[in-house]
Chains A and B, each alone.
Chain A
């Protein structure tokens, strides 16, 4: 097991270096940050001096080495736009994104699994067909459109939920949370549905097809023959065995939920890391961009690692082969 984890950590470092290198070589094409930091009154001479002071004139290799060296010490530099340390800026925004991602994932699981089970058990009922249609919408409509649609229905037409922002936030010192107030939860509803809808449909469709598959297997038939209640058959025997792929997908999707929060956060002006990243792209704020990309890559790698470990817990067969290897 230890060897497995160590091997994975080695791979993770490689992945992170690659991500850093690719993003770094892309920054050269985003634009010149000094154009966004200065104004029409700044002379060319001053601007070139700023470029030099920021180290933007050094060869890419040197800039990259410097960045990696600093990042290894968790020093991500200072934002070009607001002159604040990137680590602090990201730290301030991190809770917002994580709470949004958590709420979306919960929504996707708590709604997606029951819908999938139902659709798997009674594939021909009208409700199951309705679920299928709804899931098509969730898969085919872009996040941006879903967000705007929800805003116009629930905020503008009915005035039920806030259309933007993260309200009712309580600061706990190391973490700011919106879960503790009614206002905070209200402002979470629309963004987390928007962000989680795609995952919900994915999980629903996955559970449905897995359920239908499992229900045809011999052991389920045998369990029925033993006279077990449908409840025990469906939930204890069938559902449990559908969960392996669901765990994989949920785990992998959690990474994309965090990464794709960029769009949802922009639509709802949700003060998370994604919104900050998008604004950083517009203003060529390289320290924020590079730190964000590295963080997302780290999260992806970590989540994958945890998923692999969870596998071993849920499925003894993997555990055994893991030991043998």
Chain B
């Protein structure tokens, strides 16, 4: 018995010493940034999923032909410069010379042509990066021509997240196409990386942590002072906040709005807030002859613009901003952020006006039943409760606001998985819903074709797939097609603005706001919080 106990003590002692050594070794003068995010990094494959944070994290490792600067302006990336030829039908990209992938392979035109094939291959989730089927031709090792069927002035707008992969590496590891959703083994590129970027992945434990280390051979000007970055998912919001306050992590994303004052009051942490590009909005089913969940039978009240406008004017956007969002939102008058389309500021919101809303509903033939406080009609509002910042509370506020004009809302707030299955294509089973949208391309055309173009009842055909309410205006449809091929930026912008003005007059949507980004950081950390919410390590300095 005694010998056993001794043995155990000895073993424990050895383990402790070993542990202490292991723990102490990496803690030398190296600068380590610890970044905690609410979700997992599920794939390292740059064409595996089209999702902001994943693409942002990958953007520390991989690079596109273009990049975006701190203000989201397009700047050269792996292409040093480019020119538009043949009346916009041919683009020539001059590639950066002397760039090496992390494994030492040279970056050249073959890699670009290969990446162009891979990003539109089966199972790629980023096929839209090369819409319109452009043809890539290698001119020489550092020049690539892109031939188009029709002019496309925004060809390169989303190329900052179309990352260039190494042809030789990808082929050698049999990862020429991204793995299929039903694949039985993860693709090699799903768990390994080989980019040209300022960091390389040295460890990737799914759902536990991913370690990025500085790439000492990076071609660009280094603006960070980090040696390594440890990315950890922390799902629970209070734990994330606690980890920041106790100094166990340096950055948390996102910060729950109710914790902002407490973090700012702490000695060693603060909250960085900035505008985000996602627009949150409400919309209605304007397509079905009768709503799916409403007390109105035999007709669809939302086909009447007066009803839609009444709903719009009954929503007190200032109260939502102040009370629900605690100031962390910018009210929006349309479906795109001014950061992507500055001219949108010409459109002003329909004013909050209860009397006008009441009158519109009276005129439309929906009087209050049973006296001055009576209900005009009932309708469901579908809402996610774990997708956007305070999405559930926003819907509760809207429910209370519409009650003041005699609309009884039956709020259906559910987790996002169930929510999206209900309201999205092909069934669109919702009379009235809340949703958010970020144009993946950073361009207004994406909003036109996905949210504003007339859709088929099941959303097929690639047009209006997320126009869940079925808003339809023939002129907007025509403008959508014109915008795609218009090469003159000023004319193009005018057409985009015209479409958004039509939408505004039709009250096809009720835009609410662009929510604010809120990251928590240690006071010893300086970083750039770009409005697209990407976690970018190459602008971080830590004292």
The chain A residues found within 8 Å of chain B, CB to CB, are 29-45, 47-48, 50, 53-54, 78, 80-85, 89, 92, 147-148, 151-152, 155-156, 159, 162-166, 168, 179-184, 266-269, 271, 275-276, 278-279, 281-284
Contacts and interface: CB of A to CB of B under 8 A. Distances in A.
Given A30-B418, A44-B465, A50-B181, 16 more contacts: A31-B419, A40-B450, A42-B125, A45-B460, A84-B186, A85-B184, A85-B185, A156-B245, A164-B36, A164-B232, A168-B23, A180-B15, A182-B20, A269-B233, A271-B205, A271-B207
B366 to A, nearest CB: 34
Contact of A44 (B184, B246, B440, B458): B458
Contacts of B459: 44
Interface in B334-385: none
Given A31-B418, A151-B242, A269-B235, A40 B19 contact: no
Interface in B454-488: 458-462, 465-466
A43 B465 contact: yes
B206 A84 contact: yes
B235 A82 contact: no
B386 interface: yes
A39 B417 contact: no
Interface in B18-58: 18-20, 22-23, 36, 40, 42-43, 49-51
Contacts of B180: 53
A276 B40 CA distance: 10
A181 B239 contact: no
B9 interface: no
A39 B49 contact: yes
Contacts of B420: 31-32, 35-36
A255 B182 CA distance: 33
Contacts of B187: 83
A41 B22 contact: no
Contact of A180 (B18, B232, B415): B18
B132 interface: no
The 10 closest A-B pairs by CB, nearest first: A181-B19, A31-B417, A39-B50, A32-B421, A41-B128, A35-B420, A31-B421, A180-B15, A155-B246, A31-B418
Nearest to A159: B246
A82 B206 contact: yes
Contact of B208 (A31, A47, A83, A271): A271
A13 B364 CA distance: 63
21 contacts: A30-B417, A30-B418, A40-B440, A44-B460, A45-B460, A47-B425, A54-B182, A78-B182, A78-B185, A83-B185, A85-B184, A151-B239, A156-B246, A159-B247, A180-B19, A271-B205, A275-B207, A279-B40, A279-B207, A283-B417, A284-B421
B242 A155 contact: yes
Interface of B: 15-16, 18-20, 22-23, 36, 40, 42-43, 49-51, 125-128, 179-187, 190, 205-209, 232-236, 238-239, 242-243, 245-248, 386, 415-421, 424-426, 437, 440, 450, 458-462, 465-466
A50 B180 CA distance: 9
A267 B236 contact: yes
B426 A44 contact: yes
Contacts of A81: 40, 42
B292 to A, nearest CB: 18
Contacts of A78: 182-185
Given A155-B242, A269-B232, A37 B181 contact: yes
A279 B42 CA distance: 11
Contacts of B49: 37, 39
A92 B128 CA distance: 35
Contacts of B126: 41
A40 B450 CA distance: 9
B421 A268 contact: no
A45 B465 CA distance: 11
A41 B162 CA distance: 14
Contacts of B425: 44, 47
A151 B247 CA distance: 13
Given A38-B125, A278-B235, A29 B19 contact: no
Nearest to B234: A269
B238 A151 contact: yes
Contacts of B209: 165
Contacts of B127: 41
Contacts of B15: 179-181
B186 to A, nearest CB: 5
Contacts of B179: 83
Contacts of A278: 235
Given A39-B49, A39-B440, A168-B23, A181 B190 contact: no
A41 B437 CA distance: 12
A62 B207 CA distance: 32
A53 B179 CA distance: 13
A206 to B, nearest CB: 29
A269 B460 CA distance: 40
B235 A35 contact: no
B22 A266 contact: no
A170 to B, nearest CB: 8
A164 B465 contact: no
Given A39-B125, A41-B126, A83-B181, A163 B242 contact: yes
Contact of A53 (B19, B181, B248): B181
Contacts of A31: 415-421
Contacts of A82: 40, 42-43, 186, 190, 206
A155 B50 contact: no
A155 B460 contact: no
B416 A282 contact: yes
Contacts of B181: 34, 37, 50, 53-54, 80, 83
